[in-house]
Amino acid sequence: MPMTKSSNVQIEPAKESLLEVKQLKKFFPVKKNFLHLNKEKTFVQAVNDVSFTLYKGETYGLVGESGCGKSTTGRTILKLTDPTEGQAIYNGSNIFKLSEQELRKVRQDIQMVFQDPYSSLNPRKRIGKTLEEPLVIHNIGNAHERTEIVMEILHTVGLQLEHYYRYPHEFSGGQRQRIGLARALILNPKILIMDEPVSALDVSIQSQILNLLKKLQSELDLSFLFISHDMGVVRHISDRIGVMYLGRLVEEAPTDELFSAPLHPYTQALLSAVPVPKLGTKRERVILKGDLPSPMNPPSGCVFHTRCPFVMERCKSEVPQKKHKTMEHHVACHLYDE
Amino acid sequence: MEGIGSTLTLSQARKKLKKEQNELLKKRFLSNYSMMIGISILAFLVLLSLVGPLVVGYSPYEMVVNNRLQAPHAEHILGTDNFGRDLLTRIIYGARASIGVGFSIAIITSIVGLAVGLYASFYKSLDQILMRICDGLMAIPGVLLAIALMAALGPKVENVIIALSIVFTPYVARIVRSAALVVREQTYIEAMKSQGASSTRIIWLHVAPNVISPLIVQATFIFADSIITEAALSFLGAGIPAPAPSWGNILYDGKLTIFNAWWMTVFPGLLIIIAVIGLNSLGDGLRDLMDPHYKKVKKRRAKAKA
Amino acid sequence: MWAYILKRLFSLIPVLFIVSIVIFSIIHMTPGDPTSYMLGEEATEEQIATAKTQLGLDLPVYEQYWNWIKKAVAGNLGASYHMNMSVNEAIMSHIGPTLSLAILAEIVALCIAIPLGIIAAIKRGTATDQTVMGFSLLGMGIPSFLLALFLVLLVGVKLQWLPVAGYRPLEEGLWNHIKYLIMPAIALGSIQAALIARMTRSSMLEVLNTNYIKMARAKGVVEKKVIYSHALQNAFLPILTVIGITFGGLVTGAVVTETIFNIPGIGSLIMNSVSKRDYTVIQGIVLFVTFVYVLLNLIIDILYGVIDPRVRLEDK
Amino acid sequence: MTDVLLEINNLKTHFYTETGQVTAVNGVSFAVKKGEIVGVVGESGCGKSVMSQTILRLFEEGTVEYDGEINFKGNNLLTLNKKQMNKVRGNEISMIFQDPLSTLNPVHTIGRQIAESIILHQKKSKKEAEAEVIELLKLVGIPSPESRAKEYPHNLSGGMRQRAMIAVALACHPQLLIADEPTTALDVTIQAQILDLMKKLNQELNMGIIFITHDLGVVAELCSRVVVMYLGEIVEEASVEELFSNPLHPYTQGLIKSIPQLDGDRTALLHTIEGTVPPLTRVPHGCRFASRCPFADEQCTASSPPVFENTASQKVKCWHFEKILAEQRGA
Amino acid sequence: GGDGGTKKEKKGGELRVAVPSEPPTLDTHVNTTTISSNIARNIFETLLTFNSSGEIQPMLVESYKEDGNTIEFKLRQGVKFHNGDEMKAKDVVASMNRWINVSSSGKETFKGASFKEIDEYTVLLEMAQPTSTAALVLAYSGGEAPTIMPASVLEGKDPKEKVGEYIGTGPFQIKEWKQNQQIHLTKFNDYSSREEAGDGLAGKREALVDDLYILFVPDSSTRVAGILSGEYDAAMELPIDSVDQLKGNKDIELKSVPRELLLLYFNKKEGLFTNKVAREAVDAAINKEDVLKAAFVNPDYYKTNHHVMLANQESQWYSEIGKDKYDFHDTDLAKKLFAEAGYNGEEIRLMTSRDYDHMYNASIVVQEQLKKAGINVKLEVYDWPTFSERRNDPSAFDITIITNKGKVEPTSLVWSRPDYVGWTESEELNGITSKIRQAPSLDEARGYYDELQAWFLDFRPAIKMGDGDMLFAGRKTLSQLEDVDGLIFWNVSNSK
Ligand SMILES: Nc1ncnc2c1ncn2[C@@H]1O[C@H](COP(=O)(O)OP(=O)(O)OP(=O)(O)O)[C@@H](O)[C@H]1O
Ligand SMILES: Nc1ncnc2c1ncn2[C@@H]1O[C@H](COP(=O)(O)OP(=O)(O)OP(=O)(O)O)[C@@H](O)[C@H]1O
Ligand SMILES: [Mg+2]
Ligand SMILES: [Mg+2]
């Protein structure tokens, strides 16, 4: 397949872009023993130069190695941690530059489901109250109506009315995850950032939830940023998928294209490693060799070169640039240089 | 999933559930022994200070010097003080002053200290300022502050309360801050932020409930401490104006005669302890009411008996 | 971290400056002046007036302040009006007893409080819990002077085990030193213990139900270690804070105990200076104590971070 | 046979809540042999985690009551005293919790938490333990383990925490490992690595594993036997081959159909099981799945089905299993 | 030579005395506090002194001769200061002239007087007029005692500046003063004692203990506990409420001396009590014995004394005047008198301080008694420095109750001073005072005491309630413990 030149590709605004993340960087300083005075500061480069666009009504799946910065990307977009660099353009303004007041409005539109469902629930609050909270914050309905809404949403995510009065520790992992989802859904957001929203659900409920999400999306024109490890789930829900590795976005493509023709060696390895719930259908796995690199001192050049089966000399020194295969499919890998 | 059961049954179920929860709330409240004990003790004390004066046969100032320091006997149930005044009467009249002072100070310091501690834990720049103010306030001797305030504003109970509140607030603030520093790093606080909750809301509705239990402990301590300290201040002319009784100044009078009149220290001391127990039980009960893990222990006991 | 420490230490300057102004104003707002004590009960008005002129108390307040702060900046806090020594000396000579007493009392308090608080928390709702907490309420409610006097009468007068009052510096032998401090330390310590025990209990209760405690148990860690190494550390911030506060309070607030046991500490120095209106000493002590508190709290704040790595005091 | 490592008999776990007693695990029985990997799947909230924590008796004393037997190497764990129990915990049986952030102690470094059990149970020095910690972290695929060992849980990503948890659990080479959704936060490459590790340990050390998961792919890859739970009960138990080729319980069938596929049409709605799980406070009298079951009839709502044995290795708790079996054969 | 006490006399050892407060200074010339003079007189000595029956005796002088406007003192020879120098006339002149200059009693009694050196061992006091009380005042070792210190200490200094070096001729010398803790005195080995037997403050003085510790113990219960446990060998100012405990202990000897005059002062500059009738009304309203009882608890420890001097001075100063009226109190009369004085319900401020329990307790009772007479009395309690400031402010109070120390002669009683609390100003009083002071002899002066007493009861610059005792106790290991205007620590041995 001939590769288009990266330089002169113009992406037509076929769809209305809703959220645009540009060159996002987030470095965490590494806490040192405070007696070591003179050492240089080191950073965990959790997110390094990530850009992508979320269009209206679409789902952007974010996959990648554990610890590669997916959650951090999600949290940073909402400015839950301060970004080191970069922009997140929503409604024409940079979220990172907003005043607290404006930020709060944006946060009504962009909701987040946290990866860790238990710790994201206040242990002292009954679930009902926790769920009502966003309604109160944004002045929706009166006390009675709010209770109604909450009970409704509990039901929607497959929980019972009784659960309204329970405390978080009385729930199972999957139930908590659904509570997190309910909390994010309750405000009718425009964008939903979901960090592993179904990982703790059994497939039957998972499918209910995924169906629900799809339904909501089509009805309300929602956009999702969907972070997950479950390739099956991602495939099912996403329109486009970004693959991250060690803080960088290495490949981005429409779902079908990614699954049928993954370009980046990491993506290929990833797809090959998915376990299949059928016996005897073991696939040929691309086994990644080499040590896992650390985000504290990522490898020079292409961050994947230490484990890449196709590694070349230049990979070790040169950072690969983004190259477009089609308008929507691009990859950062030297293999596809002309 | 999409089939949200028939709306009718659903709303019925909701109603039933709400009723059930209301009953549970009542039950929870009533089965909260600490709280009940606390409320009864405090109610008793409040009643004592309100109705007591109408019942006793003496005036708190009425003195027969010749009867000074009589041990408890029929005529003076709790004995007499060093001026021959009826101790019971003075203790009853003193209740109003002491509980009033103790309560007001405990409440004021709790509220102000809570606010200061929470905001300090939340905003780094404020932290520097507020905590340094606290350091300074803690360093200024309370007695001096009290004398100065009394001189400036006159010896009134309100001023005692102001002075002692200033003295005690930093303690509360620091305790609250320390607990809040941990709470504010929790993921659920981040979750609230992501929901667009204002800082005020997060601080008061989400962080505050999580720091309440150390606050309660500190507040009870302050309650007791201020009852006693008030009396120490009245030595400097900064307390409840003499010869009005308060538990604290009865105690201090008792200290001078501690070698031969135990009743002058024991009775007011006992009342202070009772009041502390009352307030504390109330606090514990409040705490338990908010503790998601607590009720069950009760349940088990109930069951074990059955 | 160092930057943070430096920043905090730097903040001492404005703090001390403001405190100095505040204390100066308070002192001059307070009626009475050093002469009332200096000259005795039967002093004449004329004597008082001359004394005031001598002491420079007739100057305008700002001038007095200026004269004082000039020297204070250089570390000279002035001379006591009443004591035959400089304020620096006065503080130094009184800090020893106070420190010894405070440390001993804190040890007593911690030895009683932490185990009791923990036991109460573990045995929540049981008779043990109620007994322990009952005692701690007793400790909270009982005025310190009563406890002190009770100890004096019982241990000092009746049993004659320990001297009733007084103070011997460490140079006169460790036992001689300690012997005089045991009773006051117990009197102070047990009241502090009451507060710390309750704080320990309530903080522990917050922690004992968490999942990581479950996890520690799942690892087969013995209960004692679960409590002391896993739960306590998580619950320790408020406890540390009260320890800090009570320790700070011991530096200044042990007035009653110091008086009853006749220990020449900072507390009684403050009280004495206030009742003698020894302005320079009051000012000096307040600055000194502010300094101590800022330092103490800095240490505590740093310890917060050590104990609980989640606590962030600096902005990232 | 003596090669049974763990045998659970009619295990019940009751919680006391305000609204009354809740039985989260209701009469579960199954066994794990030495060196066997048993998968546990089931509805979210069906009691998998509760069951696994019950094995180690981890609930707050006084809020729960256990019933039944948990025989581990011939000893009933429910009757052991604290001291004996502590010898078992972490050493002979260890556990990977579902929720890695809240189960890691926030104030201890990862390294310390892993070293703790090594020092405790293997009586090793601190130094030795530290070296072992690095090894373990490497084993579970955490990059730059030396520096990561010194970090606190909140500094790690979800997957790293989970791997740290796994390292804690594997630290003492337990005879039985209970893994409660150990790989949910891991990407598939790491997951594959972890699964390989478990398999290796399983074979080399003859370690028994109870593997709770929702990922039927993982089950297929790893387990030899599977237990399917629904609302506190085991509804089906089968060898992994039988489960995928011949699921008998309607719930199991529903589960398998609900899996999102890596191929085929991805725009269509996923298959779901109709209805919702009834709350534990209102469990139906008869078959607990009846309200959602396409095969349900009066018998189902009237009385709870017993456990039927289809083959030596496949048991199912359904009145209609024969009908279903027949249908499946026909299909 | 005197043979001292009869009890077993052990030399050496230490004596630990608990006193309630710390002296502001030991410079006796400028200080009126009891505690200060009490400690200082172990270090410093005066030219003259009193024996136990209140008669004037020589101390540092061999002899003295009064002659109209002058008194000539012959100094004892060989008296050593603690710094080793011998006491000579120039030291006496320097000390006494400074004293006349700075002390209020010096200024009052010796206005225009000065000391002159005649030769090395003779000094001459020249006064503006003959003064009957001169020797008395010079012998007084209470507040503002005219003690002798080396001229070298005083030279070149502003007389008003406090002396920082305490060098005297007394039997003890100062070793160390630990602020807020104790004063440590040691035996002065070169002390040259008088030869006469010890009697009161006069006669032989000998430090029988090597170390004398004066411990500052502000808390009265601690003093009691300390003496009970043996921590202290002696303790001053014990609370009268603990008498039972102390008496019950067989190792302790409890003693008391009359010490204080309890007086109610009127603000005669401003307010209701500028009116004599109002002052009379207060007198009628008060039951003095009740007040005394509240202040001094036990009839054994107070005297219902009607005249202005202390009851134990009656051998010197006594007057029958007013004795019959002492018990008089009549609430109705008081009401009538108040009405007559034009009192109509305004608030009367009774000011007191809790730093002195006697004052405070008395005030509480007075307030109650005045209330009974229909007076709207407000009690205002202040700490001592505030009190001290306010009592000098005519607009700050109406009544206050103060305990004053007894004085050797009536004209130095403080209520008579126009600049003291209450501001007593009366030509008549000035007349009587001069008469007493300028009487050619003390006996003659005593004759005017009745006159003074009559004036006091008529004018009522203050109301005298009675006398109160100071309670002190010593362990029985002490050979003796006496109080003459304060405890005496020489000639006391400790067999502990
Ligand atoms: N402490 C508790 N008190 C009361 N009920 C509880 C408690 N813990 C769990 N439950 C209830 O027990 C049931 C089983 O929970 P469990 O955590 O075992 O589910 P699970 O099978 O692990 O589900 P998931 O796959 O979602 O983690 C749930 O319905 C839950 O609500
Ligand atoms: N608060 C923090 N302080 C320091 N480092 C952090 C912090 N949070 C995350 N990191 C680091 O940032 C990197 C990316 O973490 P992140 O949580 O975004 O990963 P992730 O892609 O979500 O991984 P996973 O799939 O395992 O959840 C990791 O190396 C992690 O250690
Ligand atoms: Mg993540
Ligand atoms: Mg679970």
Residues of C in contact with A36 (CB under 8 A): none
| C190–chain D nearest CA distance, Å | 30
Q: How far is CA E115 from CA E75, E135, E439, in A?
A: 13, 14, 21
Residue minimizing CA distance to atom 22 of ligand 1: D49
Mean pLDDT, range B110-117, rounded to an integer: 95
CB A301 within 8 A of CB A313: no
SS3 assignment for C71-131: HHHCCCCCECCCCCCEHHHHHHHHHHHHHHHHHHHHHHHHHHHHHHHHHHHHCCCCHHHHH
Percentage of residues of chain B with pLDDT beyond 70: 92
E318 half-sphere exposure, CB direction, 13 A CA radius: 7
SS3 A213: helix
Give the bridge partners for A47, in sequence order.
A26
**Could you tell which of D12, D22, D60, D97 is best to mutate to test the pocket of ligand 1, judged by most ligand atoms within 8 Å of the CB?**
D22
Q: From CA C54, how far away is CA C35, in angstroms rounded?
A: 10
As a whole number of angstroms, the distance between CA E44 and CA E156 comes to 21
Domain boundaries, chain B: 33-305
Ligand 2 site-directed mutation target among A68, A193, A227, A231, most atoms within 8 Å of CB: A68
Residue ranges of chain E with per-residue pLDDT less than 70: 1-9
Residues C75 and C38 grouped into a single domain: yes
Q: Are residues C36 and C123 in the same domain?
A: no
For the sheet with E122-126, list strands across it: E61-67, E70-75, E122-126, E114-119
Ligand 1 atom with least separation from CA of A173: 27
Number of domains forming the structure of chain C: 2
Mean pLDDT of A203-220: 88
Conformational region of residue A139, where left means phi above 0, alpha means psi within -120 to 50, and beta covers everything else: left
Q: For ligand 4, a single-atom ion, which residues have Cβ within 5 Å?
A: A 172-173; D 49, 98
Q: Six-digit token pair at E193? A: 């004692």
> Do C8 and C105 fall into the same domain?
no
**Are the Cβ atoms of D158 and A115 closer than 8 angstroms?**
yes
Query: What is the rounded end-to-end Cα distance, in angstroms, of chain E?
Result: 26
- At A7 the pLDDT is 42
> Regarding the domain delimited by A17-29+42-336, which CATH topology (the fold level of the hierarchy) does it fall under?
Rossmann fold (3.40.50)
Chains in contact with E, where contact requires at least 3 CB pairs less than 8 Å apart: B, C
Query: What distances in angstroms separate CA C52 from CA C20, C32, C58, C81, E143, one per listed residue?
Result: 22, 12, 6, 11, 21
Residues C182 and C229 placed together within one structural domain of the fold:
yes
Residue A38: its pLDDT value, please? 47
pLDDT at A282: 58
Report the 10 Å Cβ neighbour count for C74: 8
Max Cα-Cα span within chain B: 89
CA E283/CA E373 separation, integer angstroms:
11
Helices A265-272, D188-204: crossing angle, 10 deg rounding: 50
- The yes/no answer on whether domain B33-305 falls in CATH 1.10.3720.10 is yes
- Among the listed residues B131, B174, B279, B170, the one whose alpha carbon sits nearest the alpha carbon of residue B217: B279
Task: Read off the pLDDT of each residue in D50-70 and give the average, rounded to a whole number.
Answer: 87
CA distance B301 to A240: 57
Tell me, what CATH number does D86's domain have?
Answer: 3.40.50.300
- C-alpha distances in Å from residue D72, one per residue of D29, D206, D208: 13, 15, 11
Q: How would you class C3 by CB atoms within 10 Å of its CB: exposed for 0-12, middle for 13-18, buried for 19 or more?
A: exposed
Query: Distance between CA atoms of C28 and C35, rounded to whole angstroms?
Result: 14
The CA D140 to ligand 2 mean position distance, Å, reads 17
Nearest 10 degrees: Cα torsion B24, B27, B28, B33 = -170
Which pLDDT tens digit goes with each residue over D146-196?
Answer: 888 988 888 888 888 888 999 999 888 899 999 998 888 888 888 888 888
Distances (CA, A) of B85 to A69, B266, C125, E208: 77, 16, 43, 48
Which residues contact residue D223 at a Cβ distance below 8 angstroms, ignoring those fewer than 6 apart?
A: D37, D38, D39, D211, D240
- What CATH number should be reported for the domain holding residue C108? 1.10.3720.10
Question: Which residues in E267-375 belong to E strands, given as ranges?
Answer: 302-303, 347-353
> What pLDDT is attached to residue E134?
87
B120-160 per-position pLDDT tens digit: 998 888 888 898 888 888 888 888 888 888 778 877 888 88
Per-residue pLDDT of chain C (316 residues; tens, 9 = 90+): 677 888 888 888 888 888 899 888 888 888 888 887 777 666 777 777 888 888 888 888 888 888 888 888 888 888 888 887 889 888 998 898 999 999 999 999 999 999 999 999 888 878 888 888 888 888 888 888 888 888 888 888 888 889 888 888 888 888 989 999 999 999 889 888 988 998 899 889 888 888 899 889 888 888 888 888 899 999 998 899 989 888 888 877 688 888 889 888 888 888 888 888 888 888 898 888 888 888 888 899 889 888 888 887 765 4
Q: What angle (nearest 5°) sits at the alpha carbon of residue C173, between those of residues C171 and C179?
A: 120
Residue C315 has what pLDDT?
A: 58
Q: Which of C38-42, D33-37, D58-62 has the highest mean pLDDT?
A: D33-37
The predicted model gives A126-142 an average pLDDT of 89
pLDDT at A179: 92
Please report which ligand is nearest the Cα atom of D25: 1
Question: What distance in Å separates residue D28's CA from the closest CA in chain A?
Answer: 18
Cis peptide before B243 (omega within 30 of 0): yes
**Does C195 or D1 have the greater pLDDT score?**
C195
Among protein residues, the one whose CA lies closest to atom 25 of ligand 1: D44
The reply to whether C49 and C114 lie within a common domain is no
Nearest chain C residue to E222 by CA distance is: C260
Place of tokens 């330089």: A7
Same-domain check for residues C157 and C186: yes
Residue C207 contacts residue C234 (beta carbons within 8 Å): yes
Instruction: Please give, rounded to a whole number of angstroms, the shortest distance from the CA of C189 to a CA of chain D.
Output: 29
- Using the Cβ of B260 and the Cβ atoms of chain E, whether some distance falls under 8 Å is answered with yes
- Name the nearest CA neighbour of D272 among D300, D286, D251: D251
pLDDT band at A283 (very low <50, low <70, confident <90, very high): low
Per residue in A298-308, pLDDT tens?
888 888 988 88
Q: Are residues C103 and C248 in the same domain?
A: yes
Please tell me if residue D177 touches chain A, with a CB cutoff of 8 Å: no
B250-292 confidence digits (pLDDT tens): 888 888 888 788 888 889 888 888 888 888 888 888 888 877 7
- Whether B55 and chain A come into contact, CB under 8 Å, resolves to no
pLDDT for the residue A1: 41
D272-276 long-range contacts (CB < 8 A, ≥24 apart) are: D272/A204, D272/A207, D272/A208, D272/A211, D272/B1, D273/A204, D273/A208, D274/B3, D275/B3, D276/A155, D276/A158, D276/A160, D276/B1
Nearest-CA residue for ligand 2 atom 14 is A69
Flag the least confident range among B13-22, C126-135, D208-217, E198-207: B13-22
Q: Residues 189-218, chain A: which have Cβ within 8 Å of D?
A: 195-196, 199-208, 210-211, 214
| Interface predicted TM-score of the whole assembly (ipTM), two decimals | 0.86
Say which amino acid occupies D157.
Answer: S
Per-residue model confidence (pLDDT) at position D193: 85
* DSSP classification of residue D269: P
Compute and round to an integer the Cα radius of gyration of chain B: 24
Establish if C269 belongs to a structural domain: no
For residue D16, give the 3-state DSSP assignment: strand
Q: Which domain covers residue D296, as residue numbers?
A: 4-92+174-330
Per-residue pLDDT tens digits for D71-93: 998 889 989 888 888 888 888 99
Mutate to test the pocket of ligand 1, among A170, A179, A196, A203 (most ligand atoms within 8 A of CB): A170
Provide the token pair at E212.
């004398």
Query: What is the C-alpha R_g of chain C?
Result: 23
Q: Same domain for C47 and C13?
A: yes
The residue whose C-alpha atom lies closest to atom 1 belonging to ligand 1 is: A170
Q: What is the pLDDT of residues A170-191, one digit of tens each?
A: 888 888 989 999 999 998 899 9
The per-residue pLDDT for C40 is 67
Say how far apart CA E345 and CA E79 lie, in whole Å: 65
| 8 Å CB contact between B304 and D65 | no
**Rounded Cα distance, A241 and A222, in Å:** 17
Chains with 3 or more CB pairs under 8 A to chain A: B, C, D
Instruction: Sort residue A86 into left (φ over 0), alpha (ψ -120 to 50) or beta.
Output: left
Is the pLDDT at B202 greater than 70? The verdict is yes
Separation CA B222–CA C141 (nearest Å): 10
Residues of B in contact with D19 (CB under 8 A): 20, 24
Nearest-by-CA chain D residue for C229: D108
Number of domains chain D contains: 1
Give the span between the Cα atoms of B265 and B271, in whole angstroms: 10
Give the Cα-Cα-Cα angle E238, E239, E242 (nearest 5 degrees). 105
Q: State if residue D157 touches ligand 2 by the CB under 6 angstroms criterion.
A: yes
Q: Which residue of A has its CA nearest to D251?
A: A204
Q: Do C37 and E24 touch (CB under 8 A)?
A: yes
Residue D101 in contact with partner chain A when CB distance is under 8 A: yes
Alpha helices in B140-246 (DSSP H): 142-153, 157-183, 187-194, 199-201, 212-235
> Residue D219: exposed, middle, or buried by beta-carbon count in 10 A (0-12, 13-18, 19+)?
buried
From the centroid of its chain, how far is CA E124? Answer: 27
Question: Residue E157 corresponds to which amino acid?
Answer: K
Element (H, E) at E261: strand E252-266
Helical H segments across chain D, by residue range: 48-55, 82-88, 100-103, 110-122, 126-139, 145-148, 158-170, 188-204, 216-222, 240-245, 250-258, 298-302, 321-330
Using CB atoms within 10 A of its CB, is residue B130 exposed (0-12), middle (13-18) or buried (19+)? buried
Query: What count of residues does chain B have?
Result: 306
Specify the 3-state DSSP secondary structure of E398: coil
Q: Which two tokens stand for residue B304?
A: 């074990």
Residues E310 and E406: beta-carbon distance below 8 Å: yes
Q: What local confidence, expressed as pLDDT, does residue C115 receive? A: 92
Per residue in E286-318, pLDDT tens? 998 889 988 888 888 898 888 888 888 888 888
Burial class (CB in 10 A: 0-12, 13-18, 19+), B198: middle
Chain B's closest residue to C303, CA to CA, is B178
C306 shares its domain with C205: no
Give the distance from residue B35's alpha carbon to the nearest chain C alpha carbon, in angstroms: 13
What range does the domain containing C182 cover? 93-262
Spacing, Cα A245 to ligand 2 middle (Å): 12
A-chain CB neighbours of C308 within 8 Å are none
For atom 29 of ligand 1, the residue with the nearest CA is D45
Mean pLDDT along residues B104-112: 95
**Which pLDDT belongs to residue A33?**
52
- Residue of chain A minimizing CA distance to D186: A66
- Specify the 3-state DSSP secondary structure of D23: strand
**B chain contacts of residue A124, beta-carbon cutoff 8 Å:** 209-210, 290-292
